[in-house]
Amino acid sequence: MTEMVHGSLPLRVGEPILPRWWRTIDKWSLTAILLLFGIGLLLGLAASVPLAQSNNLPRFYYVERQAAFGGLALAVMLGCSMLTPRQIRRLGVLAFALGFAALAALPFFGTDFGKGAVRWFSFGFASVQPSEFLKPGFIILSAWLIAAAQEINGPPGRRISLAVTGAVVGLLVLQPDFGQAALVLFSWMVMYFIAGAPMLLIGLLVGVAFFGGFIAYGASEHFARRINGFLSPDIDPRTQIGYATNAIQQGGFFGTGVGEGQVKWQLPDAHTDFIIAVAAEEYGLILVLAVILLYGVVVVRSFLRLIRERDPFTRLAGAGLACVFGVQAMINMGVAVRLLPAKGMTLPFVSYGGSSVIAAGITVGALLALTRTRPQGEIGDIFRRGR
């Protein structure tokens, strides 16, 4: 009975935490994340200097801040990756509670920094975007609720998680932040699908989301303006999308050369939302493909490990975290090449931003913790024993 529950993989009794962590961590994913952070610093050296000069700050002011934020994010990531699934669950519930309270307080104490959406708390020396920290907590809480619903005499976790999702999406829409709202809803539907939700219900939720989009188009000038700009056959070359599109075209396959790009002087958000345009212009398609490959390594490696995991919570939470990480990167790059409407979403570990990079550290740290190899074995062991 013990072998059936815990598997037959040997435990190394008394093994120190660091050797055990190194032996069980997914080194491919860890390497990909470190490379993404290094690429972010490299691009920051090019993209943030014009902004620093225009604000009368030292040339590498934003790069130094990004390095500091990134160092903290990597420390948080490594710390989270050493936790057990139970500890991740507790941390996620706490993060969700704090993030949800902060999100609810935004309409009263938040600021929009002139961008038309109240998404930040400003403290003068720094700002915080609560939605970035809410996402990993929301994924972990939802995974716990959905997994608990699968237990005998378990709570109605699926209905509770649906109600929580509706509350979170509602608060995000009020900012308005339709991009994050769509990302949260999509990640929840992925977890719900993995847990065995009927396709009819998934289709109904997709229909509700599209209907909500039509309502938002008529009610929100901010949302309508972005949709109209996306659907327009002509690109205004003086807009951010226009500058980014031109930069990507100018970069070609090999790029214009290090420091030779012009888009960083034209875009106020070149170091954040449109950092991939800087990469495409100066380093060409080669670097862009490398960035896409690194994100793909993290997501694919995570799913390959999660497929073999027995614990429902671990599978669901890991899938949700991998989905948030990968889809956010896809949205950011999709906006830059005009495959998607403008979202105001950063590129994880590459774009400048304290909230973004630290929240990405929490997300990926939890993902690395959930995808570590464990003594309980793999789900395939059950089928092999039954032969």
Residue at 22 is within a domain: no
pLDDT given at position 355: 85
pLDDT given at position 35: 96
State the residue for tokens 């975007």.
Answer: 129
pLDDT given at position 320: 95
pLDDT given at position 380: 53
What is the per-residue pLDDT across 58-109, written as a single tens digit (0 to 9) for each? Answer: 888 888 888 999 999 999 999 999 999 999 999 999 999 999 999 999 888 8
Residue at 317 is within a domain: yes
d(CA 292, CA 354): 22
Residue at 19 is within a domain: no
Q: Give the SS3 label for residue 183.
A: helix
Q: How far is CA 80 from CA 38, 84, 86, 387, in A?
A: 20, 9, 12, 38
Query: What are the residues facing 127 on neighbouring strands?
Result: 122
pLDDT given at position 220: 72
pLDDT given at position 2: 37
Residue at 331 is within a domain: yes
d(CA 187, CA 144): 14
Identify the segments of the chain with pLDDT beneath 50: 1-11, 382-383, 385-387
pLDDT given at position 301: 95
Phi-psi region of 252 (alpha: psi -120 to 50; beta: other; left: phi over 0): left
Q: Which domain holds residue 157?
A: 34-376
Where do runs of H (alpha helix) occur along the chain?
2-6, 17-24, 27-47, 49-54, 61-81, 85-109, 130-149, 157-174, 178-194, 199-219, 221-231, 240-251, 263-266, 275-307, 312-336, 354-370, 380-385
pTM, rounded to two decimals: 0.87
What is the per-residue pLDDT across 161-216, written as a single tens digit (0 to 9) for each? Answer: 999 999 999 999 888 888 889 899 999 999 998 888 777 877 887 888 788 777 87
Residue at 42 is within a domain: yes
d(CA 109, CA 121): 7
Q: In total, how many domains does the chain have?
A: 1
Cβ 265 vs Cβ 50: under 8 Å: yes
Is the alpha carbon torsion for 259, 265, 271, 273 positive or negative?
negative
Residue at 24 is within a domain: no
Residue at 89 is within a domain: yes
d(CA 144, CA 12): 29
